[in-house]
Amino acid sequence: MRFPPHLTRIGSAAALLSALLVGGTVSATPAAAAVGSICQSALPSQAHDTLDLIEQGGPFPFEQDGTVFQNREAILPSQSTGYYHEYTVITPGSDTRGARRIVTGEEPQEDYYTADHYASFDLIDYGC
């Protein structure tokens, strides 16, 4: 069961208060990670290439490009299945797809960049 973000924060605060009162410890979980932000100009050149391909509708270098991103890590805002799609950002020198991706949402310019295979995400800021 997924909880809205504000309920997750309340649950985290309750866990912290409980740990402090009882003398326990608290650890951060990946699901508690926040989405950061990155200026479009700060992206690697290969990410710009991927964004251009997305804009053009392909062709894409890997058959997995354009497939539904499941958001199993629950870092991106919770949406219905099919809302997000993923695309490979080429990693120079890599024989595989590497760890870098662009994940797009349905809203215009709702594009996220990850350099660490979904461990963290940055919303791409097109205004800087």
pLDDT digits (tens, 9 = 90+) for 34-82: 799 999 999 999 999 999 999 999 999 999 999 999 999 999 999 999 9
Catalytic: 117?
A: yes
Token pair recorded at residue 31: 């699901």
Residue type, 16: L
Run of H or E residues at 67: strand 67-69
Under DSSP, the state recorded for 17 is H
Predicted structure pTM score? 0.74
Tell me which of 48, 55, 73, 86 is the catalytic residue.
86
pLDDT digits (tens, 9 = 90+) for 97-107: 999 999 999 99
Give the per-residue pLDDT at 34: 74
Cα 107 to Cα 84: distance, rounded to the nearest angstrom: 10
**pLDDT, position 33:** 55
Whether CATH 1.10.287.70 fits 35-125: no
Query: Which residues in the chain are classed under CATH 3.10.450.30?
Result: 35-125
Question: Tens digits of per-residue pLDDT, 1-38?
Answer: 333 333 333 333 443 333 334 444 443 434 435 799 99
Length of the chain: 128
CA Rg value for the chain: 17
Active-site residue (options: 6, 73, 106, 117): 117
Q: What type of residue sits at position 122?
A: D
Beta bridge partners of 116: none
Angstrom distance (rounded) from CA 51 to CA 63? 16
